Amino acid sequence: MKTNNSKIVDCTIRDGGLVNNWDFSVEFVQQLYAGLNDAGVDYMEIGYKNSPKLLKGADKAGPWRFLDDEFLRKVIPQKGHTKLSALVDIGRVDENDILPRSESLLDLIRVACYIKDVDKAIELVNIFHERGYETTINIMALSNVMEHELLEAFELIKDSVVDVVYIVDSYGSLDHKDILHLTEKFKKHLPNKRLGIHAHNNLQLAFSNTLIAAEQGVELLDASVYGMGRAAGNCPTELLVTHLKHTHYKLRPVLDVIEKLMIPLREKEEWGYIIPYMITGTLDEHPRSAMALRASEDKDKAVDFYDKLTTPEVSFDQK
């Protein structure tokens, strides 16, 4: 397995923030950064760089939802080898918030988009690239994309300045055969671009899919410590650092983070392989219905939930 070009992008704070509304203390984030840096993890995605002006309920979220460069400098006064990343969404970012890279601690800005917005993603990437950042486009929900849409998107992307293009399994519904199929297609149509993968764990396949993608030459591997991320969560960082061959990652600092930060947090917050998330995964759909179920009294009523999602004449509004 030639995975020595692999780079791990830890998304614990950014994707995990979708679990706890970014309610991480500064000390938590500092300890996580120190642990990831000791482990040799390449990037830490420390939050979103969206604008609070463009989002409802912004005042209730923790600071990692709307990263501020000045605040970030206080959080990470001494940067190590681990680079910092932020994610933005189409229509939620104000380009005036983005300083030149030389004035920011951020190294990488990633743009998440659905296939129909790839043109808008490229416009944003142009701005961020111009200001000196590494850039990625993360194409979400690929399991729901038709072939011709994907080919049109590749045409736009291949001539753009973006550094890395991501395969995102938003619903956690893909298996190894899907990953082989997608990596082959991305490599064929985007031979001049590096690739990334962001997997969700609804079917317990996030780690396996990420390993198989790495073997196919996918370079940027998204993960989070103890798998913390929305709904079923992500590929666990601890598994990548211990299992990728011919790399210099260290497991022990990640175990330390799990013991000190993640085990206590998991007692308060919920993510991982939980049956309603498995159900939305196997049905290849967004986990929002399962997240609503888990927040209700019926959280363990898996059979009713399955029946609702699989009976065409019943919608959730009619129940």
CA dist., res. 111 & res. 39, Å (int): 26
Q: Does the footprint of a copy of itself cover residue 204 (CB under 8 A)? A: yes
Indicate whether 282 belongs to the interface with a copy of itself (CB under 8 A): yes
Among 26, 127, 190, 275, binds a copy of itself (CB under 8 A): 275
Strands 164-169 and 134-139 come out as parallel
Candidate ranges 80-88, 102-110, 164-172, 247-255; the one touching a copy of itself (CB under 8 A): 247-255
Interacting positions 44-103 with a copy of itself (CB under 8 A): none
Quick check: 263 binds a copy of itself (CB under 8 A)?
A: yes
Of the candidates 128, 186, 207, 249, which one interacts with a copy of itself according to CB under 8 A? Answer: 207
In this complex, which beta carbon is closest to a copy of itself, that of residue 27 or of residue 175? Answer: 175
Q: How far apart are CA 66 and CA 142, in angstroms?
A: 26
Binding mask 157-186 toward a copy of itself (x if CB under 8 A, else -) reads ------------------xxx---------
Examine residue 268 and tell whether it contacts a copy of itself (CB under 8 A): no
Give the nearest distance from C-beta 222 to a copy of itself in angstroms: 15
Query: Do 17 and 271 form a contact (C-beta atoms < 8 A)?
Result: no
Cβ pair 120, 47 in contact under 8 A: no
Burial of 156 (0-12, 13-18, 19+ CB in 10 A): middle
Under the binding rule (CB under 8 A), the answer on residue 298 touching a copy of itself is no
Say how many residues touch a copy of itself, by CB under 8 A. Answer: 39
Q: Does 289 bind a copy of itself (CB under 8 A)?
A: no
Among 55, 141, 251, 309, binds a copy of itself (CB under 8 A): 251
Q: Does 34 bind a copy of itself (CB under 8 A)?
A: no
Nearest-approach distance from CB 255 to a copy of itself, in angstroms: 5
301 part of the interface to a copy of itself, by CB under 8 A:
yes
Closest CA to 29 of 74, 87, 89, 66: 74
CB of 272 to a copy of itself, least distance (A): 8
Our CB check for a copy of itself shows the closer of 109 and 279 to be 279
- Determine if 31 is a binding residue for a copy of itself (CB under 8 A): no
Examine residue 244 and tell whether it contacts a copy of itself (CB under 8 A): no
Please select the residue that binds a copy of itself; options are 218, 221, 279, 293, rule is CB under 8 A: 279
Place of tokens 């396996």: 208
Binding site for a copy of itself (CB under 8 A): 1, 175-177, 201, 203-209, 211-212, 226, 236, 238-239, 242-243, 251-252, 255-256, 258-259, 263, 272-273, 275, 278-279, 282, 300-303, 306-307
